[in-house]
Every structure is written in C-alpha cells, then in structure tokens.
Structure 1
C-alpha cells in the first residue's frame, strides 16, 4: 500500500511528463527482498576459518553490513561430531512458510581436510550434508549428516539452500562429480563438477537430486542464490576451471532461463570462491557479496545497486575481519542480535 501511495504521489507531482518516472523506476522488478527493512538492525555471519573446520559466528557492529565481530570470544559455536568431524562452507538458511521466524538451519560440507587429501576428498569423499537447526538463532541442535547422492558421486561440497515459495519447500544446491557405475573405487576419470539440486521440507529427507548447473567440461563448484522479488533471482557461481566468480539472472524462477549480465565472459572477480550474497538492511536495492580470496586472506566484501545488471564494486574492507572463509550472512533483528551477544559474548 505504501509503495502504491508513493507511485501516486510521484505521478501527481510530475505534471509535464507523468508517465516517464514509472518507466524509469521499473517497479515491476522492485520485489520485497530488495527493500530496506527497519526491523532488521544487525547481520549474523557463519563461517569457517581455514584449517579450523568448525562453525564460527560473527555479528555486525550495529547495522553495518561490512563490519563484523567474532562471537563466543572467537571460539567455534558448532563443532561437528559426525562424519569427518570437520565442517566447511557453512550456510545459514531462514525458515520459510510455516517455519518463517520460527526455525533456522545451518548446513555445510562434511570435510576435514587434515584427515585426507584434496584428491581423495573428491574421489571418495562424503556424500552427505551436515545439518543443524535452531528455533532462536542462539542454540544449535539436532546435528545430522544426511546422504543426498548415491555411490557414483565422488563428493558433496558447499551446500546452499533457499525457500522456494512456488513449491513451499527448500531448494538445496551442492557440487558433485561422478564416476561410472562400474568404477566402484573411483579410480578412473570423473565427470566435470556440476551443481546439483533437490527439495526438502525438513532437511531430513530429500527428493531425488538432479543437475541444476552442468556446464561441462567447465567445473562449477560453488553457488549462492539471491531472491530479487517477483520470481526473479540472481545466482553466483565459481568457475573452478578458470578460478573466477560470475553471476547469472533469471526473471522466470529458480528453474527458468538464466542469462549472464555482460555476456558469456563477464566475471565479478578472479582468484575467488564461496560467493555469499545478502541485501542491505537500510538502503533499498543495495546488495552485498562476499568473495573468498582462498589463496590469500579470505573474504572481501563487494556491493551493488544493480544486481540484475551484474555491476559489482569492491567495498571498504577496513572493518571486515580477515581470514573468514566460505560462509554466509543473514540479516537479523535487534532482539536476535542482543540474544546472540548475551549467549555468545564477543
């Protein structure tokens, strides 16, 4: 209603050319996910720290999207006990549908690289996803390791998820490569790494997975999806073959037609991985993107006022911690921020 009144006011004050402002502003693409939200006053980040495969929580300093402080005095909040007893690439997912505002999930890769090698972890690695859940963002329980791929998969890496209102379920994504069914020990040549997807209502049972992004022979290992509103989405992918992160946009849903702003060679940055995107709490249409400089000092923040156009620029990193690795960020309320500070003091 407030948006409608704003449009009416805009038209009434533009006497000479009443139609032009509406054409310029393109309200058809102005979805709820792009609006600033005064009820959100902090940002909660979940990360791992290089050779420390546990979940670390970070909270913003006030409502600054790129200024974070370590919670729990810099100690991990979640230490996995199942699988390899190591978790990488944690992603925090807000509940959708009946779980909205009542449930949150953290999912991650089951991989402790200190106990294996990079080659072995891709040939005979874990085929499951780590899951923890919470009803308050403070206490994380019900650890489980849920298999999602069959024996032909070499690994399941970097899971991410998003609530899909068209299905009233969570769409889950991860990266896998595959071996021939006859190659039970996975000693042969695998497929290219591709992004896979499945649906779930509870992160306990998953639908049969299928390919989501298969750009063979290019290897794609990381994905993050940002809702743009009105059934439009941006997704961010790592080209493992070229070691770059690029973006694609769909205006026809998660399984619609995806295009690459700027053309087939356009990238956001090189030498990076683990894209993590989130909207700004205070500025309409402003988004943030973290890119992990895995060969250097971890995440650097980027920002955009034109996500659809794929236009990103580096942000001021002076207040952003160094050495944070592939994770995700969730905007939270003042009450949630205070509860996190009380439970896990900085």
Structure 2
C-alpha cells in the first residue's frame, strides 16, 4: 500500500507541475468585464515613425493598433522626433504625463551625433484625461551633467519616501574618450522643474547601461518591493525595498536564452487580477519586435518563460521601446472613444481628379503629387459637435482639424471650445455635382459648403454649376 501511495503521489505531483507550467506559459485572458492595457510606443526610424503611437490589449498579449495605426502625438520641438516614451500616472489618477527621448534618427541626426552631441532634453506631454494632451515641451535634464552628451530612455516612478517622482534616464558621459552611458536621476513633482541630476546606476569599468525600467511588486511575491530590468549588455534584474536604496543583483535572462546580444528595451506589464507579469523585450538583433516573457516572480531570473510566437500578437505596426499602463474602466472608455480605428483617407476633388485636399504650413488647398503624402491624409471622425456629423483630423498633425475662419480654411489644433467644434464640423451629404460622391455642408453656416476656389479651400454658398463641381469630393484610400 505504501508503494502504491508513493506512486500515486508521484503521479499527482507530476500532474500538478504540468498544470503549473501550462498556467505560467499561457497567460490567462482577461474577462470581458476587465479593463485592458494601453501601450505607448514608437514604430521605427524617420520623422513619421519616431512619434507617439498607441496600442490596446484586452488580455496583455494580443495587441490592436489604435487610431488606425496612425500617430497620436507629434513633437514639433527639439529634434522634432521622439523615442522611448513612458507613461506616468499621478498617485490619485488626476494627471498623466508622457515623457520621451528627444531624438530623430534619419531626419536630421545620425546615431554618432545623437550619442556624442545629442539633445540634453526630454519631451513632455501632460493630460488630465489621457486623451486631451498639452502641446509638448522640452525639459532639460542632462544640461547640468559635466560632459553629458545626451538624454535617452526616460522613466519615472512615484517615490513615497520623498513624496515626489524619481525621474531617471541614460546619459553618455565618456570614459577615457569612449562612450559610457550611465543612468542619472532627478526629483520632480511636475515634470517642469527637476533637482540637480545625480548618478543612479553606474556599471563598473566600460560597461554601459541605457534602458532600465522599475516595477513595484506586491507583498508576498519574492523578497523585494521593487524589481528593475536593465539593458546593460544583458537583461539584468535587480531588487530593492526602496527606489533610491541599495539594489541587489539578481542575475540576468541569459539562462533562459535571452542575451543582451538578442534583446533590449525591457518593458514591464502586470496581468490584471493575478500575480503574473510579462516582461516585454525588443528583439532588435533579428528585427522581430517585442515579445513577452512570463513570470510569477519577477525577482527570480530562472522563472521567466519565453512564449511561442503563436501565443501573442503585437498588431499591425512594429512596437519599439515604450511603456504599458493597466487601464481603469473609465480610462479605457475614454481612450477607445478618442482613438477608434477610423479609416485613413484622402479627399479627392471631383473636377480636378488629380488633386487632393492637403495642408501645407497649415494652409489648406488642393494639389496634385502631394509630398509627403501624409499632408493629404485625414481621418473622418465623428463630428466634434456630436454624432451625425463629421470632422477631419490630420494624420501627420494629430489633434489638428480642418477648420474655417472668416470662410477660409486652415489646419488648426483643437482648443476644446464650442466655437472650434462648430467651425470644424460638417454634415456629409450627397455630392452636389454627382450624388455618388460627397459634399460637406458647414454645421454652423448651413447655407455654405466646403469648396475649392483657385485651388484654395473655402466655405462658400453654392449657386452655380462650377461651384457644385468645386464642392464635390470623394474619400479614397
């Protein structure tokens, strides 16, 4: 009997181990009622890809591009490009920030220039609702670092010990003439002013460190309140019980087959309702984009498990180094309403069919051979005044809409006023020259329509055959 019991115990133990392994390898999908996850990221090099993009997931491993895959924020400041964004949410949820690297590779700056004489600023956006963002501003964080050459990959975390945010980033301070990125930090309460920068992480000798991200761990999981993952030649894990305290090296992920020569840009995410985490890693060496590795104990390097490529989907655009926020239900509703996957269109003229509505220096006209083509691409949104109407938002200037003023059209940033909403809203009706096309009647001047005159866009009453042709358009892809 004792031998039988021993055999049954062994079988039961093996079954439990198999079940536990399957539970760890296959992340649980959130129920329909659970809010999901929001990722802010960039998508590659060049002036368009190095801007802010958003993606959403209901389960943390299958992602959908928001905003039709188009950018949601563009930086017109500094280098006019942004990379490595991070979300920051205030402890009471009343304010949000996006902080990002001020860097635009391939659109005015090379890697060598950005390493040795790059921007010492970060780019900062601010919001009270996660959907209406301020104009971006520059925050100088590395200018006071002796021989500091740049400011890359910013992150921030609320520190209850100091009752403010610890803002940290990488700066190259050369060592014996060679590149040496280290992590610096400052305190800030508003991302407008910062305390003098200090060294946060400095690896020995010539070893560099660029990407690092901290996550807070609930009590009862591992031995540390905080775990950070860093790209320092490996993906190194460290633990601490205070953000600015002593950090203990826990090892790296080379033991599970993920070396620093393969992956970078660690990005944490906690699954809702369970003590399970994904550490997303960018497969930069192979160009494969982000992949999740799953763990139930972030402080144990041996617990991380790579996922089969069939178990996750990163969506239509490539996700580059970003940040993932666990949404509340209210936040999710606002975000999904603001950034639906509305088709991206061009607005073709009926009587000059080689010409399309475009903006140039924020003036609006119809032109042929538009370059860059994104100057002539818009999303036809639900009208700013409400359903049943339409408004046109620019693709390469998110938040900017076609608006009439004194019957002339400009591309203008939405200021949130009722007057702006009325001026930027139209009724889509059957084409005045051809009912299979479309015309757009002004919401607040219903006797007037969008039309072109001498190739400039205007808001006019339509009384002639020529004018009817001028006021007729087609949405095309």
In the TM superposition, what whole-angstrom CA distance separates every residue of 1:302-342 from its partner, at most 9, and x where no partner exists? 11101122321123543223621000100002222121111
Structure 1 window deviating more from structure 2 (256-265 vs 77-86): it is 256-265
Match of 2:43 among 39, 49, 59: 49
Q: 1:111 to 1:340 in 2, by over 3 A?
A: same
SS for the counterpart of 1:54 is coil
Task: Give 1:111-126 correspondences, 5 Å limit.
Answer: 111-114=103-106, 115-126=108-119
Alpha-carbon separation, structure 2, partners of 1:268 and 1:199? 36
Matched, 1:83 2:72: no
What is the RMSD of the two structures over their aligned residues, measured on CA atoms?
2.3
1:277 aligns to what? 268
Task: Give 1:195-206 correspondences, 5 Å limit.
Answer: 195-206=183-194
Task: Give 1:8-23 correspondences, 5 Å limit.
Answer: none
1:294 aligns to what? 284
Q: 1:266 to 1:153 in 2, by over 3 A?
A: farther
TM-score, normalised via structure 2 length = 0.58
Residue 117 of structure 1 deviates from its aligned partner by 1.2
In the TM superposition, what whole-angstrom CA distance separates every residue of 1:100-145 from its partner, at most 9, and x where no partner exists? 2111111000000111111111111000111101111111214111
1:11 aligns to what? none
Alpha-carbon separation, structure 1, partners of 2:56 and 2:252? 36
Alpha-carbon separation, structure 1, partners of 2:264 and 2:251? 20
Structure 2: gaps spanning 5 or more residues: 1-29, 342-477
1:31 aligns to what? none
Residue 280 of structure 1 deviates from its aligned partner by 0.9
Structure 1: gaps spanning 5 or more residues: 1-35, 181-187
2:333 aligns to what? 338
Paired residues of 1:38 and 1:282 also in contact (CA < 8 A): no
Task: State the structure with bigger RCO (CA 8 A, min sep 6), 1 or 2.
Answer: 1
Paired residues of 2:235 and 2:253 also in contact (CA < 8 A): no
Q: 1:161 to 1:40 in 2, by over 3 A?
A: farther
Alpha-carbon separation, structure 1, partners of 2:255 and 2:214? 18
1:71 aligns to what? 66
Residue 268 of structure 1 deviates from its aligned partner by 7.1
Residue 277 of structure 1 deviates from its aligned partner by 0.4
Alpha-carbon separation, structure 1, partners of 2:172 and 2:276? 35
Q: 1:267 to 1:238 in 2, by over 3 A?
A: farther
2:171 aligns to what? 176
Match of 1:245 among 222, 229, 235: 235
Matched, 1:312 2:304: yes
**Count of residue pairs the alignment pairs up:** 294
TM-score, normalised via structure 1 length = 0.79
Paired residues of 1:47 and 1:324 also in contact (CA < 8 A): yes
Q: 1:245 to 1:263 in 2, by over 3 A?
A: closer
In the TM superposition, what whole-angstrom CA distance separates every residue of 1:203-245 from its partner, at most 9, and x where no partner exists? 0000111111100321001010001146710001001xx3x21
Alpha-carbon separation, structure 2, partners of 1:148 and 1:73? 34
Paired residues of 2:236 and 2:250 also in contact (CA < 8 A): no
Matched, 1:207 2:199: no
SS for the counterpart of 1:41 is coil
Q: Quick check: which has more Rg, 1 or 2? A: 2
